[in-house]
Amino acid sequence: MFEEILAVFRPAILFPWLLSMAFGVLIGGTPGLTATMGVALIIPVTYYMEPLAGMAMILGVSFTSIFTGDIPATLLRIPGTPASGAATLDGYELTKQGRGMEALSLDLLCSAIGGFIGILLLMAVAPPLAKFALKFTNFQYFWLGIFGLSMSAVLSAGRPINGVLSATLGLLVSTVGMDITTGLPRFTGGNMELLEGIGFIPAMVGLFGLSEVLKNVGDAKLLGKSSIPEFGRISLLRTLKIILRNKMTVLKASLLGTCVGALPGAGADIAAWVAYGMEKKTSKNPEEFGKGSIKGVIAPTSANNAALGGTWIPALVFGVPGDSITAIVLGAMLMYGLRPGPLIFQENLELVHGIFAVGLISQILLIPVGLIGIRIFGKILRMPRNIVMVIVLIFSVIGSYAIRNSFFDIYIMAAFGVAGFFFEYLDIPLPPLILAIILGPMIEDNLRVGLIKTHGGFGEFIFDPICLTLIFLILFVFFGGPVMKFFRRNKRK
């Protein structure tokens, strides 16, 4: 392993690698540009490099952008990537308390540690974990989707019934477009642009970006002032101490994140919510969550970066993608003349070790790169509101357009922005809505395809050890709080 680690420190690899991490900062921090899109965009550049340099660029972009997505989420409550939805809760609360820097440095170190653990698991237990992941099919994915969604519905600020409303509405939005099992266009009104459904990127940018702009321009008195007056200072040592105090949270969230990532049907976005929810539900002080809890920052950010390592597990072991990023990675591997899948461990063991080494070192490099990112975005986002909001607006428009070169998506963004503004006013939480739009197809398609498999029977959805476990967990999410309280009270007696 030692030679492999040395071997990646060559200019031919190191230079594009660092460059890609700088890209990652831009992509993650810009609402509308996602990690997947970033990877797709740099792939053509990597064709002219050696395979390991290409892989280093992909790893660099994905890990950095999943972290930097948390920066606008923490500072402005606008998630930079879908995986940062959970960071808008406690991270943003800390910013409001003037502890934004503290939240971000925690976020950064936990991202790096989570990513590190994810890669370690990838190296150590990839084959058995991948075998386990294959057991999941439509029945299990259906419940997993419901599980992630109920976490976000119950845990977002406000009353759970409003969370359920928000999630249900989001699921309804996700049914717009072509039904995958029959190809039937639903609720499109004959509009071709709607056939593929309402894109979750424009929806997310609108719900969080534009609605935030509307909220801010509405308050004329505050316009000339910065929205983040107090920022705090970075102290890595102090941050490290906090992490050491919460080491079990980091560890649990990272393990959970990697396992969720290893499932070919689930990725970093769901991993973050599941980790946040598990942390809150098993916490002794659940009432602190949503009010600037340190654990509420640590859990989702450790999990989403750990999930990235997890997504490489099915990719390397079976040659099947773990998420949309690794799907592109597999295509790139073909371009290099590699054969992704089980044989890669025999035919290109050196490259596999190289990928592991790059993955591990990326986490260490992430810390200085991330700090620079925090500095830059911190500077920009701390400008007076009237300037920041116009910049956010322009990026929201261009970002929505750029996803598939569609003006229609800009209008979708605008519509969701207005809706998001009113929902906020009515205390309807937004994170369940966007997660439901993302997970809606996963939930419905798995339900419907599962029903095709069973010829309409529901038995397979229930009588299966994994399904039963998930159903139990979902019930726990909804009714676990009172039950836990009951047990604790009895214990004290």
DSSP codes joined into one string, 226-276: BS--------HHHHHHHHHHTHHHHHHHHHHHHHHHHSTT--HHHHHHHHH
Q: How far is the CB of 271 from another protein (least distance, A)?
A: 19
Q: Give the list of residues 6+ apart from residue 439 with CB closer than 8 angstroms, or none.
A: 145, 148, 149, 174, 270
Q: How far is the CB of 177 from another protein (least distance, A)?
A: 8
Q: How far is the CB of 142 from another protein (least distance, A)?
A: 11
Cα 476 from Cα 342, distance rounded (Å): 38
Q: How far is the CB of 387 from another protein (least distance, A)?
A: 6
Give the 3-state secondary structure percentages of the chain, helix then strand then coil, rounded to 5: 75, 0, 20
Nearer to another protein, 220 or 237 (CB): 220
Nearer to another protein, 50 or 193 (CB): 193
Q: Give the list of residues 6+ apart from residue 91 with CB closer than 8 angstroms, or none.
A: 70, 73, 74, 103, 104, 107, 297
Q: How far is the CB of 14 from another protein (least distance, A)?
A: 20
Nearer to another protein, 181 or 282 (CB): 181
Nearer to another protein, 158 or 232 (CB): 158
Nearer to another protein, 214 or 242 (CB): 214
Sign of CA dihedral 411, 412, 416, 417: negative
Residue with tokens 């047990």: 487
Instruction: Assess contact for 64 and 28: CB atoms under 8 A.
Output: yes
Residue 448: Cβ within 10 Å count: 16
Residue with tokens 């029903």: 451
What are φ and ψ of residue 78, in 5° steps?
-115, 105
Q: How far is the CB of 80 from another protein (least distance, A)?
A: 14
What are φ and ψ of residue 222, in 5° steps?
-90, -5
Nearer to another protein, 363 or 400 (CB): 400
The C-alpha torsion from 236 through 240 and 246 to 248, rounded to 10°, is: 130
Q: How far is the CB of 147 from another protein (least distance, A)?
A: 17
Which of 132, 100, 54 lies closest to 233, judged by CA? 100
Nearer to another protein, 288 or 424 (CB): 424
Instruction: Assess contact for 273 and 300: CB atoms under 8 A.
Output: yes
Nearer to another protein, 17 or 136 (CB): 136
Nearer to another protein, 260 or 299 (CB): 260
H-state helical runs in 319-406: 324-335, 344-347, 349-381, 385-404
Q: How far is the CB of 448 from another protein (least distance, A)?
A: 7
Residue 33: Cβ within 10 Å count: 25
Nearer to another protein, 7 or 320 (CB): 320
Q: How far is the CB of 458 from another protein (least distance, A)?
A: 9
Q: How far is the CB of 409 from another protein (least distance, A)?
A: 10
Residue with tokens 């990532």: 261
Half-sphere exposure of residue 173: CA atoms within 13 angstroms, side-chain side: 24
CA 183, distance to chain mean position in Å, is: 29
Nearer to another protein, 287 or 427 (CB): 427
Q: How far is the CB of 412 from another protein (least distance, A)?
A: 11
Residue 177 host element (H or E) = strand 177-178
Cα 210 from Cα 203, distance rounded (Å): 10
Q: How far is the CB of 489 from another protein (least distance, A)?
A: 30
Which of 320, 364, 359, 360 lies closest to 340, judged by CA? 320
Nearer to another protein, 355 or 361 (CB): 355
